[in-house]
Amino acid sequence: MTDQETAPVDGVEQATAEQETPAAQAEAGQSDSGQSDSGGADTVGTAAPVVPVASDDPTRWGRVDEAGKVYVKAEDGEREVGSWQAGEPAEGLAHFARRFDDMRTEVELLEARLKSGAGDPKQALTSAKHVRDGLADAAVVGDLAALRARVDFVIASAGKAVDKAKVARDAARAEMAARKQALVEEAETLANESTQWKSAGDRLRAILDEWKTIRGVDRKTDEQLWRRFSKARDAFNRRRGAHFADLDRQRATAKTRKQELVAEAEELAGSDDWGVTAGRYKDLMVEWKAAGRAPKESDDALWQAFRAAQDKFFARRSAAFDERDAEFGTNAKLKEELLAEAEGIDPAAGLEAARNALYKLQERWDQIGKVPRERVRELEGRLRAIEERVRGAVDAQWRRTDPEAEARVAQFRERVTQFEAQAAKARSAGDKRRAEQAEAQAAQWREWLAAAEQAVATR
């Protein structure tokens, strides 16, 4: 805001004060007599005072004497405003009346522009004051009192408009300052907190563009806000610069590490140790991801080299596995043929022959070698079934001919015979008690003998 905008407008206070008293004399000048006996309106009401058109009846407001001097009827009597020597006195009076009407029209135009809002209130106030100041010596013929009251009304209206415009300017200035304050606070938040470098940078540029469109803030406030905004931008740029400098260092370290991983991957590409090498490639991939991003111009090239080494190894392993799978498929067919032969082994036809046949079959089985992984369970299961059948027959034969079991049966039988003999001897001797004890023990051992014989029989 300029000093001119903030300086008080001369005459506004005066014009406002002049409105505090009704313009009775100005209104009295509109009587049927056509004479304005008003001494001048110091104030105006809410309605604009009416100013008669002087050219309609110039003689109502002035006269021309025999010497050609022109007079206007003023509040304190007649006042000479000029002379007319060029023609008829009526023409001279009409000339000065038209000049009055021109002043009247000028005042009405000022008022109209104020009402429409198209005019500058300060300019209208200045122009109205100029008209009022010139009324005392104006070379015109007309109702000067009414015109003065009309001018005072315009001055008062212009003063109010100036005050209203000032309030509006202050409000607009406060609103614009608030907008810039909000932009500054947003910029400071971005500068201190944001890590979205691209979007935050774009937003700061957009804030600057918006800043340039906001006008009307007083210079002191605008400079203070601008310094804060500039400081925020500088802080953001420093943080962003430090971030990317650190990122460059990290990427340089990542580049070195990835170059080492590429070298190891290329060295492993010729390995035939499929399992260990495949596991190491998995570890290398984990280390690759942990290394971070290298500079873009080299990161893609390093990745392509790393993948190429991996692809080379796994292509070789795949080819080897395909060859092995073909060999394993042949082995599976051979083992199927061997199983078909083994399923003909019958332990019931001769246990020892069955055991020898199974032993030879197992040797041939091992010599054939591996089969495809998906066939292992099936083929091994069929072989286990044959082995269990022969082993079950062997175990059953062994249980039937177990010497220890036979010895226990003979021992139990001997004990039964022994206690039966003792019972018979005691009964012959008339020892009933001993005879009953011996018979009870013999009965117990018979039960054990029966159990042992049953166990041997069911093996």
pLDDT in tens, 210-222: 999 999 889 999 9
Distance between start and end Cα atoms, the chain: 120
Q: How confident is the model at residue 444 (pLDDT cuts 50, 70, 90)?
A: confident
The proportion of the chain whose per-residue pLDDT surpasses 70, expressed as a percent, equals 86
pLDDT at 401: 61
pLDDT range class, residue 198, cuts 50, 70, 90: very high
pLDDT at position 398, please?
64
Phi (first) and psi of residue 347, to 5 degrees: -60, -25
247: pLDDT strictly greater than 70? yes
Q: Tell me which of 122-136, 251-265, 333-347, 434-448 is least confident.
A: 333-347
383/217: higher pLDDT = 217
Strand residues in 40-128 grouped as ranges (E): 62-64, 69-74, 77-83
Q: How far apart are CA 166 and CA 172, in angstroms?
A: 10
pLDDT-wise least confident of 112-126, 252-266, 268-282: 112-126
**184 band by pLDDT with thresholds 50, 70 and 90:** very high
| Most confident stretch, 69-73, 114-118, 334-338 | 69-73
- Look over the chain and give the mean of its residue pLDDT values, rounded to a whole number: 81
- Euclidean distance between CA atoms 132 and 135, whole angstroms: 5
Greater confidence (41 vs 405) lies with 405
Would you state the pLDDT for residue 197? Answer: 92
Tell me the pLDDT tens digit for each residue of 345-377. 777 677 777 778 777 877 888 888 887 888 788
Q: What is the mean pLDDT of residues 14-35?
A: 34
36 pLDDT band (50/70/90 cuts)? very low
pLDDT at 23 over 70: no
Once rounded to an integer, what is the mean pLDDT over residues 230-255?
92
Phi first, then psi: give them for residue 439, nearest 5 degrees. -65, -40
| CA proximity to 29, closest of 57, 55, 61, 58 | 61
- Strongest mean pLDDT among 16-25, 90-99, 402-411: 90-99
Q: What is the pLDDT of residue 3?
A: 37
Q: What is the mean pLDDT of residues 69-97?
A: 89
Residue 44's pLDDT band (cuts 50, 70, 90): very low
Say what percent of the chain tops pLDDT 90.
Answer: 33
Helices (H), 194-273: 197-213, 219-268
Question: At a CB cut-off of 8 Å and minimum separation 6, what does 213 contact?
Answer: none
Mapping DSSP to helix (H, G, I), strand (E, B) and coil, where does residue 45 land? coil
The two three-digit tokens of residue 426, written as one number: 């005691």
Q: Is 77 helix (H, G, I), strand (E, B) or coil?
A: strand
For residue 402, the model assigns a pLDDT of 62
> Which of 57-71, 162-176, 182-196, 437-451 comes out lowest in average pLDDT?
437-451
pLDDT at 27 over 50: no
Q: Which amino acid is at 238?
A: R
Nearest to 315 by CA among 358, 255, 269, 373: 269
Q: What is the pLDDT of residue 31?
A: 34
